[in-house]
Structure formats: structure tokens, C-alpha cells
Amino acid sequence: MTQAEIKLCSLLLQEHFGEIVEKIGVHLIRTGSQPLRVIAHDTGTSLDQVKKALCVLIQHNLVIYQVHKRGVVEYEAQCSRVLRMLRYPRYIYTAKTLYSDTGELIVEELLLNGKMTMSAVVKKVADRLTETMEDGKTMDYAEVSNTFMRLADTHFVQRCPWVPATENSDPGPLPPAPILVISEKDMYLVPKLSLIGKGKRRRSSDEDATGEPKAKRSKHSTDNKEPIPDDGIYWQANLDRFHQHFRDQAIVSAVANRMDQTSSEIVRTMLRMSEITTPSAAPFTQPLSSNEIFRSLPVGYNISKQVLDQYLTLLADDPLEFVGKSGDSGGGMYVINLHKALGSLATATLESVVQERFGSRCARIFRLVLQKKHLEQKQVEDFAMIPAKEAKDMLYKMLSGNFISLQEIPKTPDHAPSRTFYLYTVNILSAARMLLHRCYKSIANLIERRQFETKENKRLLEKSQRVEAIIASMQATGAEEAQLQEIEEMITAPERQQLETLKRNVNKLDASEIQVDETIFLLESYIESTMKRQ
């Protein structure tokens, strides 16, 4: 765990949950697994506050617990899961793209609350969608339920592990902490609920449509409280499935850039056919026959079977080896080599960084060393056709930046420089780790800069929010245009310009965070895939 990662985790926890949760979370990240009383003692926090902070962290899957032989429960922070909070906007946007506004709000609610029952999610989302609709229109619970079921069918949401039911005969002493279990077949099993109803709008008055006061209504609801049909069955967002989708999108985009749109559509079809059957960490997709791929192509793609076979042969013969041929049955069996695809994407990212940082000539040397594996300095000069002095300078720059490494091969045991070969090489894995570390530092700097910008203009932002609230309330009561204009003039022209500059800067910083996170995702996926193969 590097200092850059710990700092980024600290910023994310503070931004999402506040100071106390951040203090407990960072302490666990630094020290590893610890029991409750040790955490309270080391952080100087009251036991009650530590318990509440741990509840929040466990609810959001940021901390796990385990019971040791002596019955001591220890808590351990999941640093990688904390860093996933960076990607929350991307998860929500993906759900919106695939399953419209309903899917977006379902995923947003699950991410904001950590774990929720299906009935609670459906009711909350239906209410939120009804709020945005025109008067007289409401969102039906059944429609939201259908979208939830589609998300579960495609594995974007999954059940949380639960405490297994024990027989009443002799339960025995309770364990110090509950043991949660879940089976693979139940993970995406949606309970059969008959949720009948529509979303409700919030009311500004203290009485509902029937004229019944709130206090009386809440008493009624507590007295006649019906049991929740899916009580105890909690759901969470399946982040691995979202990552699988991001990886597939990156591969399709790379194929489109390298070849053409038809090739990328064929690869997209292959990935879509195997998205449920292939585990997220698998190096290859399931083998698919040419006939199956042809039948599964989108309706709009009117290409013949012969043309499809030509495209598949072209993809299989490509040097990047995104697509491989695994057999000849069924018109030819094809797989997508996910590990090589991630390797190519990580390499392309490194090349791009070298070009932006050191220039096109350095990028030429970097690509040359990548291609030839091992080269002496004289060979680099000759192959790249760059003068000796410049080549030496460029190689040293990349060596000091850890983009390339130097390997010594001595002819004799004494390692005398005159009798030693010095070969330049690119270790993609170590270069990817180095770049990932820099990306974490960049994101932390961007978050700190955004917080600084917001803090510096806090007074102006509060004034702007007050003015907007006054205007909104006056518009609701039907105020005249002149009155609204007078309220708007409370913010002067220089202040308005300052607000526009702040908004533009914050938007730039937000966009930069998302772009850096895309790089982080590619590098993390490549490192994870490589480590699993070793």
C-alpha cells in the first residue's frame, strides 16, 4: 500500500462520509486488521463512534470482519474497494446508457446506500422518477421492478451474503459475529414480489391529499405495519460486472480504431454472447462458432456469412491477436484473448504517455525497444536513426523515469564494464505499476485542488444558493418578472463572472478526474490479469 493510495483513500472517505469515518478507515488501511477496542484506543475515538463508523464502512463493503479462534473479531479495510468510489459516476452513467433513467437511479441508490432490499429500492426510485414527471403522471412500481430484474439477469446487481437460518431445536451459543454465506445459483435470483402501487410526490404542506395530519398518518403506519415481503434479502451493485463492461467497451473501441466499424461490431457481438458465461478474471472468452456469431449479429448488419468469415480470419491473423482461432468445428471456433487485449491497451497507454512527456523521437525509441525486446545503445542509435548524443540523452530520460530498464549481462564473473553487455528493455508490468502510482497522485492532487477552489469561494457559493432558493420559492408563488429581476441583481456582475470561472474550473477538474480514472482502470486490469497468470 503506497502513500499515494492511502492519501487518495483518505480524501475519498472524508468527501463521502466525513472526518470520523475517514479517521477509522485510514487507520485500518495503515495498520491492517485490528479488533474494536484497539481501534478505539489507537485513534483516540469513543467506542460508540468507532462502532458507528465501522457500521457505515461495513454497510458500503469498505471493511470486512473475521472471527479468530479465540473469538476475537478483527476488522480489515478494503483499500481497493475504497478506490472504486472514484468510479461511481461512471457506474451510474453506464446504467443510464444501458437501462435508461430507471436503471441509473437503481444503481445510484445501491451505491449511495451500500446495501438495500429490492422493495425499498423500487419504492425509492419510483418516488424519485414521479418527482421529475409532469403533474398527473406517476411511475409504476412494476416498471421499476422489471428494470431491476433486467439488471439482475445481466449480473449488474447481485444479492449480498446473508446469515443462514438455524433450526430452533438447539441453537447453542451465538458466535461473536455472524457468518455470512451465499451460493452461486442464488446470487442473481430475484425474489417474486407483487409490488403494486405508484410513485408518490413529496408534499410541501403538513397534510396529505386526504387532509390527514402527518402525525396521525405516521401513527397509523406504525400500528398497521405490514411485514416486508423480501426482508433480509439485500442487494448491492456488482462492480466486477461493470468493470467487465468497461473492459469490453475498451476492446471494441480499440478494434474500431485499428480496423473498421464492422470488425468492432463482430467483436462486440462475441463479447455480448459470452458476457454472462465468461468469468470477469478469465484470460479468454468461451469459444464461439462462426455460425453462432452470424446468427447473433445485430439486425441492421446485412453482411453475408462469407464476408463474416473473411473478417474473422482477418481478426485472427492480426499481430495484436485480440481474436484467436481455437478450432474448425461449426465453421471455425473463435475466442477473444482478453489478456493480450489488455496488454495491448496498457502498452498503447504507456506509448502515449512517453510521447506526451518526452516527445515523438523518444516514443520512436520506446516502440523500437518494445518491438526488439533487448537492444544495446549502439543498436538503438542505428535502428532509430538518431545521433548518438541525442539517443543517449533520450534513453537516460526514459531510464530515470522508469519507463525502460537496463539489464547487465557480464561475459566474465568480475562484471568489468568493458566485458559486460548493457541491454535496454521495457518491463511493461513495472512501467504500468509506476504509471498507476503517478495516476493515484494526480487524482489526489485534482481532488485537493477542487476542494481548495470550492473553499476559497465558499461565501460566494452560499450567496448564489440563497438567491436561487429565493427565486425558486418566488416563482412557485407566481411572482412578477420585475421582482425576480431585482432578486437576481443581488449578485453583481463581477461576482457572476467569478462564479462562471469557478464553475468552468471545477468542471475541468471533474473531467480530468474521470479521464485519469479511465487510465487507472486499464492499468489495474492489465496488472491484475498478469498477476493471475503468473
Q: What residue spans define the domains of the chain? A: 3-77, 86-165+177-201+232-237, 239-336, 341-426, 432-474+495-526
**What is the third-level CATH fold of 86-165+177-201+232-237?**
Arc Repressor Mutant, subunit A (1.10.10)
Region 286-315: what's the mean pLDDT?
A: 82
The HSE-up count of residue 483 (CA atoms within 13 Å, CB side) is: 10
Q: What is the pLDDT of residue 36?
A: 86
Distance of CA 479 to the CA centre of its chain: 45
Confidence of residue 173 (pLDDT cuts 50, 70, 90): low
pLDDT above 50 (res 221)? no
Region 173-192: what's the mean pLDDT?
A: 76
pLDDT in tens, 116-164: 888 888 888 888 888 887 777 788 888 888 898 999 888 899 888 877 7
- The answer to whether residues 450 and 509 touch, using CB atoms and an 8 Å cutoff, is yes
Query: Could you tell me how many residues make up the chain?
Result: 534
Distance of CA 523 to the CA centre of its chain: 13
Closest CA to 196 of 133, 131, 136, 123: 123
Residue type, 62: L
Instruction: Return the C-alpha cell found at 395.
Output: 534513453
Q: What is the pLDDT of residue 433?
A: 92
pLDDT above 60 (res 210)? no
Task: Give domain 341-426's CATH number out of 3.40.50.2300, 3.65.10.10, 1.10.10.10, 3.40.50.300.
Answer: 1.10.10.10
CB count within 10 Å of CB 413 equals: 7
Confidence of residue 439 (pLDDT cuts 50, 70, 90): very high
pLDDT in tens, 90-101: 999 999 999 888
Q: What is the pLDDT of residue 92?
A: 93
Region 236-255: what's the mean pLDDT?
A: 89
Region 390-408: what's the mean pLDDT?
A: 87
pLDDT in tens, 445-503: 999 999 898 888 888 888 888 888 888 888 777 777 777 777 777 878 888 888 888 88
Confidence of residue 106 (pLDDT cuts 50, 70, 90): very high
- The answer to whether residues 368 and 380 touch, using CB atoms and an 8 Å cutoff, is yes
Q: What is the pLDDT of residue 166?
A: 62
**What is the rounded distance in angstroms from the CA atom of residue 455 to the CA atom of residue 412?**
63
Q: What is the pLDDT of residue 224?
A: 46
Q: Which residue has the higher pLDDT, 307 or 207?
A: 307
Burial, 404: exposed, middle or buried (Cβ in 10 Å; 0-12, 13-18, 19+)? buried
pLDDT in tens, 264-297: 888 888 888 887 777 777 788 888 888 888 888 8
For the chain, the average pLDDT equals 83
Q: What is the pLDDT of residue 460?
A: 84
pLDDT above 90 (res 378)? no
Q: What is the pLDDT of residue 334?
A: 84
**What is the third-level CATH fold of 239-336?**
Arc Repressor Mutant, subunit A (1.10.10)
pLDDT above 70 (res 171)? no
pLDDT above 50 (res 223)? no
Burial, 69: exposed, middle or buried (Cβ in 10 Å; 0-12, 13-18, 19+)? exposed
Q: Which residue has the higher pLDDT, 328 or 463?
A: 463
- Percentage above 70 pLDDT, the chain: 91
Distance of CA 1 to the CA centre of its chain: 19
Three-class DSSP category at 491 = coil
Residue type, 361: R
Confidence of residue 168 (pLDDT cuts 50, 70, 90): low
Phi, psi of 502, rounded to the nearest 5 degrees: -60, -45
pLDDT above 70 (res 339)? yes
- The answer to whether residues 520 and 526 touch, using CB atoms and an 8 Å cutoff, is no
Region 62-80: what's the mean pLDDT?
A: 85
Sheet holding 116-117, edge to edge: 116-117, 234-237, 157-159
Instruction: From residue 468, give the alpha-carbon distance in Å to each of 73, 460, 487.
Output: 50, 12, 9
- The answer to whether residues 336 and 267 touch, using CB atoms and an 8 Å cutoff, is yes
pLDDT above 60 (res 16)? yes
pLDDT above 70 (res 29)? yes
pLDDT above 70 (res 303)? yes
Domain 3-77 has CATH 1.10.10.10: yes
- The answer to whether residues 89 and 131 touch, using CB atoms and an 8 Å cutoff, is no
- Percentage above 90 pLDDT, the chain: 17
Closest CA to 147 of 199, 99, 91, 193: 99
Instruction: Return the C-alpha cell found at 95.
Output: 446504467
Question: In CATH terms, are 3-77 and 86-165+177-201+232-237 the same topology?
Answer: yes
